[in-house]
Structures are given as C-alpha cells and as structure tokens.
Amino acid sequence: MPHFDLPPEQLRNYRPELAEPADFDEFWSTTLAAADAHDLHVTATPVDTGLTLVDTFDVRFPGYGGSPVSAWLHLPARRVGPLPAVVEYVGYGGGRGLAHERILYAAAGYAHLIMDTRGQGSSWSVGDTPDPAADSGGPAHPGFMTRGILDPHTYYYRRVFTDAVRAVRAVRVLDAVDPARVVVTGASQGGGISLAVAGLVDDLAAVMTDVPFLCDFPRATTLVDTLPYAEVARYLKAHRDHVDPVYRTLGYVDGVSHARRATAPALFSVALMDDVCPPSTVYAAYNCYAGVKEMREYPFNNHEGGQGFHDREKLTFLRRVVPAPPAG
C-alpha cells in the first residue's frame, strides 16, 4: 500500500506522547560544554575543482572529543562582504562527497559548508572523517545506528550531534560569513541532525529539514523494516534483552524532543509514500516544533521527496529569510 501510514488528515495532527529522559537538557549541555572546551581552530585550504564561478575550500575543525571533522566550504568566486551561510548535514551512509559535487547554494550567492558525518562516507557519497572514539568499536549491528547504543554517553549520535553544533560555531568564525545569518539544512539523516542543531543552538536564522530521519523512534522502528531504522530492530532481534536500554538511549536523540526546543523559522518537507522516514514520524517532529514553521507535502514520493522541486522551494525560502547579496 503506497499510502501505508496514517491517512493525510490524521498525519497532519499526529503528535506522539513521547517520554523524555529527565536529564535530557543537562545531558546535552554537559556534552556540548565538554566539546567547547576544545579550541575552535578552523583551517580552510583552497582546492582546485575546475570550476571558475565557485571557490572551494577543504575545511577542518575540532568536533566531539576535539577530533578533526572535514567539510567543504563553497563561496561565490566574486563576492562582496560577509555572506549568509548554509550549513548542510548529509544523509545516512554518505560523506561530504567530492569537492565539486554540491554547489547549488554557492551558485545562489551563499556561503555553503557541507560537513562529513564521522565514520560514514563509503556508500552513496564519499567522506574521510574517522570516528576515533574508543566507544565506536562496541559490539553493534552493521551500520551506525547501534554503535554504543547501550548508554547515551557512548552512543554514536551523541558524537555526531556535537560535531554538527561545532560546525555552526566553526562557520561563524570564518571571515567570509555573517555569523548572524546561519541556516542549517539537510535531508534524511541530515534533516534529523538539522533538527537536533535547531534545538541545541538558539540563534539560528532558519532551519530547512527534509524528510528527517531520527524522529519518533518507538513508532519508526516498528512501522517500517527498511534501513536504517531497521538496524535498531535487527539489533534487538538478536539482543532480545536490550530493549529497555536501547529505547532509553534513543530518547536523547529523538528529533521530536529536539523540535520541542527549537525556535528558528523552519521549512519542512514530507513525502507521503516515504517508507524510509515514514510521514507520521516527520509530522511528529513538525507538529511539536516550537518555532514558526511551514510544511511542503509530496503525495506521490517515497524518500527522494521533492528533489529539484523542493530545492526551488528552499531557494525561495532562503531568499525570504536571508537574502543573498547581488552577484559581485
């Protein structure tokens, strides 16, 4: 059944009763404070992509535990004054890709930073940021979803969300960027990370989150058997005695809880035939989102969502909230 989830009118009102760990906010403030104890030393090395309209830099900044995180920075070759910036997080399995691959926001006049996701980057796009924490080697189901999942302190996404917050801090110290006009974005895992950053950083100019992953875990993990949510279920299929600690840990990561704390203006998208990040889980985050928000629905799409049609929506939204200066 292509519309396998709730009927549209129920989706638009779906709001799960999701318990939150009592120390949710303390957990994250402690975590970020520890990361911020590391100096924010950012390097940006120019690379030759063969493109003449866009300048690209290989960026490195210290993330969780101070270990280096890679990113690409794209800027219009001709630019005047500090630019509004878009910080982008990547979908599950991928990395920041090759230096010339994603230049849309720069072509629209923005500074654009694309962050690697630690450990990922060996499937649909490449990356080269390791996840050298000792915790990364704990017994886990193949993939990243269950690494260190028995304790929120060792859980993989604790490190990733911390990197993501640090990426916002890193982009703000760049000369080319206006620190008051930073937008975060991403699709799928990148959308889930965007929501977390929106909840953890309080002065973003906007959030654009597409078909976000990592939302409403109790529903997602029993509603679909597609990867990557299914990694959790497959882990629990083996470790029948780990159900409680696993869901406890996921409570610190759930995008619904982060959305409740986020206040920047937000543009969401959802696909009604999405069996990877099912629409009810996206609406769960949307309906709980604490800031001004807009939704775009794609009724006949699976997880690819709106693609170019939605990029058009995002360029329009961006132009509205953080207009880029005219081309230099």
Site for a second copy in 201-230 (CB under 8 A): 222-225, 230
- Compute, in degrees rounded to 10, the torsion defined by CA atoms 42, 311, 303, 198: 50
CA distance 67 to 133: 9
**Cβ-count burial 290-317 (b if 16+ within 10 Å, e if not):** eeebeebbbeebbbebbeeebeebbbeb
Q: Of the listed pieces 76-84, 169-177, 190-198, 282-290, which binds a second copy according to CB under 8 A?
A: 76-84
Give min distance, CB of 148 to a second copy, in A: 9
Q: Is 303 an annotated catalytic residue? A: yes
- Of the candidate residues 12, 60, 169, 234, the single one contacting a second copy (CB under 8 A): 234
Using CB under 8 A as the binding rule, whether residue 320 contacts a second copy is answered as no
Tell me if 110 is assigned to a ligand binding site: no
Return the residue of 132, 179, 245, 265 that touches a second copy, per CB under 8 A. Answer: 132
230 closest CA partner among 270, 266, 276 = 276
Instruction: Please tell me what DSSP assigns to residue 56.
Output: E
Q: Is 324 in the site for a second copy (CB under 8 A)?
A: yes
Catalytic residue among 216, 269, 274, 310: 274
Chain residues 264-293 in contact with a second copy, contact rule CB under 8 A: 273
* 3 among known catalytic residues: no
Number of chain positions touching a second copy (CB under 8 A): 85
Q: What type of residue sits at position 70? A: S
Q: Is 125 in the site for a second copy (CB under 8 A)?
A: yes
Write out the two tokens for 203.
């002065």
Q: Is 298 in the site for a second copy (CB under 8 A)?
A: yes
Strands (E), the chain: 43-47, 54-62, 68-76, 83-89, 111-115, 177-187, 206-210, 266-271, 293-298
Of positions 63, 84, 91, 127, contacts a second copy by CB under 8 A: 127
Characterize the bridge pairing of strands 266-271 and 293-298: parallel
Q: Which of residues 18-37 bind a second copy (CB under 8 A)?
A: none
Taking the least distance from each CB to a second copy, the nearer of 107 and 290 is: 107
Does 142 sit behind a cis peptide bond, omega within 30 degrees of 0 on the bond before it? no
The verdict on whether 188 is a catalytic residue reads: yes
Q: Among residue numbers 159 through 188, which ones bind a second copy (CB under 8 A)?
A: none
Cβ proximity of 201 and 224 under 8 Å: no
Q: What letter would DSSP give residue 126?
A: B
Nearer Cβ to a second copy, position 7 or 37? 7
Among positions 25, 295, 311, 321, the unique one binding a second copy when judged by CB under 8 A: 311
Which amino acid does the sequence have at 211?
V
- The Cα 200–Cα 25 span in angstroms is 9
Annotated catalytic residue, options 188, 194, 257, 269: 188
Closest CB 199 distance from a second copy, rounded Å = 26
Enzyme catalytic residues: 188, 274, 303
Binding residues for substrate: 92
